[in-house]
Amino acid sequence: MRRQQVQAEWRRAQKALRAAELLQQHGLVEDAISRAYYAIMHAAKAALLVHTVAGKKGEEEGTKWIVSAQLYIIVSMENTIGITKAAEMLGVTVKTLQRWDREGRLVPIARTRTNRRVYTVEQVRTFQGLRTLGQAPTRVVLYCRVSSQAQKPDLVNQRAALEQFCAARGLANVEVVSEVGGGLNFTRKKFVALMQAIDRYEVKTLVVAHKDRLVRFGFCWFAQFCADHGCELLVLNQETLSPEQEMVQDLMTIVHCFSSRLYGLRHYRKTLADALKGPPA
């Protein structure tokens, strides 16, 4: 009876292994790994039956053997890479890949015993192609920003000018994103959300009133970032400056930012002075 069981499990293992080899030859790596797993499982069962391993201890040993063998097959297969290499290929950070895994956008084919993600080169290249050739971006976003609450009424003027500009260019179904925050603060909540949407290839056109409304410094980098992600960046006020004027404007921007921070510290002058004095003797 036990001999028949061993033969049956061994036949199942051989059948699953042949299927895995065929699937791998046709580039279906994920399916090949799945069939290889079952081949290992049936082979392990056959081995356990041969050695008459029974009971809870035998079951635990068999499970460990199966997991180890499965991991060996996955790692030893050609073109498997870790999360760091996959991130480099896609031009994103490791944290982005981890987020895509949680969102179900790019799920690794397996995890190692230390819970590290494992990908295949084909899987990453396919996903890269889908990102490039997938559904075209559709969102048209108008971004308005002022530096302080005192300037908040200017948001209405910015919005009106941008909406008029979009109407003249025939841009419809526009979204307006208004924000109060410094132009050198790259962690502004709505600004970060907008950059993430561009990174996901969701934004077709981004419209701003002036370059410094998007960022006070490093505009060229963000313009290239938009271009690389299929987003057209339109600036309403295309003021042309000489290199000297641009340098002076950048310096003035930095000085203005830090002087504003210094001015804001005056509110806490008394608190700071008391703290520096320390407790009375």
The mean per-residue pLDDT over the stretch 3-25 comes to 78
> Which two structure tokens, joined as six digits, stand for 28?
């279906």
Q: Which tens digit of pLDDT belongs to each residue from 93-139?
A: 888 899 889 888 888 887 777 888 888 887 887 777 665 545 567 88
Q: Which tens digit of pLDDT belongs to each residue from 142-184?
A: 999 998 888 888 899 999 999 999 999 898 889 999 999 888 7
pLDDT of residue 6: 72
108: Cα separation from own chain's centroid: 14
The better pLDDT of the pair 108, 67 is held by 108
Which range of 3-17, 193-207, 255-269 scores highest in mean pLDDT? It is 193-207
Whether 190 has a pLDDT exceeding 80, the answer reads: yes
Amino acid residing at 182: G
Percent of the chain with pLDDT over 90: 16
**Residue ranges per structural domain of the chain:** 2-132, 139-235, 244-277
pLDDT of residue 53: 46
pLDDT of residue 90: 80
Range in 46-50, 74-78, 173-177, 217-221 the model is least confident about:
74-78
Percent of the chain with pLDDT over 70: 68
The better pLDDT of the pair 75, 43 is held by 43
What is the C-alpha end-to-end distance of the chain, expressed in Å?
91
The strand pairing partners of 205, in sequence order, are 140, 232
Amino acid residing at 193: A
Whether domain 2-132 has CATH 2.30.40.10 = no
pLDDT of residue 55: 47
Range in 53-62, 98-107, 191-200, 257-266 the model is least confident about:
53-62
Q: Which tens digit of pLDDT belongs to each residue from 223-256?
A: 999 888 888 999 988 665 455 655 666 666 666 6
pLDDT of residue 252: 65
Strand order in the sheet with 80-82: 80-82, 117-120, 110-111
The better pLDDT of the pair 20, 57 is held by 20
Report DSSP letters for 72-124, one per residue.
HHHHHSTTEEEHHHHHHHHTS-HHHHHHHHHHTSS--SEE-TT--EEEEHHHH
pLDDT of residue 206: 95
The rounded mean pLDDT for the chain is 76
User: Can you name the CATH fold of 139-235?
Assistant: Rossmann fold (3.40.50)
Indicate the helix (H) or strand (E) that contains 204.
Answer: strand 203-208
pLDDT of residue 192: 92
Please state the length of the chain. Answer: 281
